[in-house]
Structure 1
Amino acid sequence: MNSSNEIIVVERAHGGLHCDKDALTDMFGWFLQVLLASLAFTCLIAKRFCEPRLHRRSWLIWFYDTSKQGMGAMTIHLANVWLAGQYQGDPCTWYLINFLLDSSLGLLIIFVGIRTCQYLSRKKGWEAINFGEYGKPPNVHAWLAQCCLYVCLMVIVKVSITLFMQLDFWENVKNFILSPLDNPKVELAFVMLIIPFFINMLMFWVTDNFLMYKDPSKRRRDSSEVSLLEKAKVKYRSLRKKKSDSESDILLSADDDLLDPEQVPTRGSIHT
């Protein structure tokens, strides 16, 4: 036991391992993961209250939308935790590299997948795969079909990222990333909580906009309301201009009345 600890200490001194292979799945690691999930869930609740009151989703529709993202995020997270222990070297850095790729390249794959499903839903009439649309009243079968489809998208993302990770240059990235951190607990907190919190907050917010249903009639109504408001402003300006013109005419006519009719010069008259 002492010899293995000495090996780890030597590896740390040479910029090698910072956290052992069980760091992501020990008690402290699971605590950070549960805390991160709670914060991400709170972020999605806050997003619902930021929606316009007239267009705010019901709690049931909100749950249908966010639960898909929750299942997909859990699938990706568990896959990253398992894959981090399969690489040679520090599992914390491998987990962070996978997470950053999932949040960038993976988000692009998710966007393309969701838009493809929505396109097929319109062209083929497959209403169940139209993300964010569950029927009236909301049908649990449509939600279940979209959950399975979204998890399949996450599997495609993870397979694509794993294949991308086979390139040789990631070894140099692994040696560079998190190199200033020497404390395993601090490194684990950065990898499992601090960095993922800010990135997940942005990613969950953007992905929720992809998944939620946007009624085209509401967008048309909003645009018509804006155009009516602009028309009202233009009409108000024209009425105000007419009012100012009429007031100036009244003032001029009043000045003319003050003058004696015989003293009012006529056009073309010559004073001698």
Structure 2
Amino acid sequence: MFEMNSTINGHKPIGGLHCSKDALIDVFGWFLQVLLACLAFTCLIAKRFCEPKTERRSWLIWFYDTSKQGLGALAIHLANVWLAGQYTGDPCTWYIINFLLDSSIGLLIIFIGIRISQRLSKKPGWEAINFGEYGDPPSMNAWLAQCCLYIGLMVIVKTCITLLMQLNFWERVRDFILSPIDNPKVELAFVMLVIPFFVNILMFWVTDNFLMHRKTKLKLRRNSLNQGLLHKVNLQYRSVDDFIRNHSPESDGLLMDDELLDSEDPPHGHSSKYIIA
């Protein structure tokens, strides 16, 4: 493994490999990484406010859900930064290849892992690994167990992607990707900020939906639907009630059930003559 960053007579580096081996961990590289983390965190805050008010998570539950994803993303990011420097050639291209694989194949692995853990959580004593469920009141132990499980999923993801990266055709992909960009600062900005920002918005949004507990959400929707149906039935009952009052020839002498229930005293002008023995 060696760094291909040499120049010939001051001209553009050979093969477009102009991102130095330490570019990802210099001052500018760390600045872009911190900026990306802040933008991604802001995206998750905005997602919470996009949730319907009747289904919106409390700040504590939101923190429990998003912190798992944040810790997992941090572990994957640091692993990618370290691995990018271990490959031969431009570390920026190796980083972006790893990142895109984590965001596609890795997301599928995460989804499968979360679904398996949710099924296992139905067994007695395994309730703590049900992602998004922390008990009432919320338990930090359940959150800690889910954090460890989620980071374990990230280790599986990174292992699978690293093994996939051993295939030879990635050398050709590396030579092609980002080749039109000549400026090393611009390349680093695209690799560490621009492309990850848009991909992370989609990935964080989808993953947050995986990590949310769906039972409460479905219950709220069911209650809202039931209330709507009861309201419609009540309106129809009132309409029939008004129709009978306005069109029945005996409407002056009849009392509806709801009037009898609402009144404790006998109505004026009506007596037992309307009661048929």
Question: TM-score of the superposition, structure 2-length normalised?
Answer: 0.79
- Pick the aligned partner of 1:220 from 207, 219, 222: 222
1:210-257 CA distances to partner (integer Å, 9 max, x unpaired)?
Answer: 111122522432443565577689989999xx9xxxxxxxxxxxxxxx
Pick closer, same or farther for the CA change 1:13–1:121 going to 2, 3 Å.
same
Q: Which residue of 2 aligns with 1:33?
A: 33
State which structure, 1 or 2, has the greater radius of gyration over its C-alpha atoms.
1
Please provide the CA RMSD for this pair.
2.8
Distance 1:158 1:233 in 2: 58
Q: Which residue of 2 aligns with 1:268?
A: none
Distance 1:117 1:77 in 2: 24
Q: Which residue of 2 aligns with 1:78?
A: 78
Q: Which residue of 1 aligns with 2:143?
A: 143
Contact kept, 8 Å, 1:95 with 1:191, in 2: the verdict is yes
Distance 2:67 2:208 in 1: 10
Distance 1:90 1:237 in 2: 75
Distance 1:38 1:97 in 2: 23
Distance 2:162 2:179 in 1: 23
Pick closer, same or farther for the CA change 1:237–1:195 going to 2, 3 Å.
farther
Distance 1:9 1:236 in 2: 91
1:130-179 CA distances to partner (integer Å, 9 max, x unpaired)?
Answer: 01111111111111111011000000000001111111111111111000
Contact kept, 8 Å, 1:72 with 1:151, in 2: the verdict is yes
Pick closer, same or farther for the CA change 1:98–1:228 going to 2, 3 Å.
farther
Partner-residue secondary structure (3-state), 2:214: coil
Q: Report the AA paired with residue 47 of structure 1.
A: K
Query: Structure 2 stretches of 5 or more lacking a match?
Result: 245-277
Q: Which residue of 1 aligns with 2:183?
A: 183
Q: Which residue of 1 aligns with 2:88?
A: 88
Question: TM-score of the superposition, structure 1-length normalised?
Answer: 0.80
Distance 1:119 1:193 in 2: 37
Q: Report the AA paired with residue 191 of structure 2.
A: V
Distance 1:106 1:84 in 2: 17
Moved more, 223-232 or 205-214: 223-232
Q: Which residue of 2 aligns with 1:49?
A: 49
1:7 shift after superposition = 3.8
Contact kept, 8 Å, 2:129 with 2:146, in 1: the verdict is yes
Distance 2:61 2:220 in 1: 17
Which protein is richer in helix relative to its size? 1
Q: Report the AA paired with residue 58 of structure 1.
A: S
Contact kept, 8 Å, 2:65 with 2:132, in 1: the verdict is yes
Distance 1:107 1:9 in 2: 45
Query: Structure 1 stretches of 5 or more lacking a match?
Result: 243-272
Q: Which residue of 2 aligns with 1:63?
A: 63
Q: Which residue of 2 aligns with 1:21?
A: 21
User: 1:231-270 residue pairs with structure 2 within 5 A?
Assistant: none
Q: Report the AA paired with residue 24 of structure 2.
A: L
Distance 1:236 1:40 in 2: 52
Q: Report the AA paired with residue 185 of structure 1.
A: K
Contact kept, 8 Å, 1:24 with 1:30, in 2: the verdict is yes
1:16 shift after superposition = 3.8
Pick closer, same or farther for the CA change 1:46–1:236 going to 2, 3 Å.
farther
Contact kept, 8 Å, 1:109 with 1:157, in 2: the verdict is yes
Distance 1:166 1:230 in 2: 63
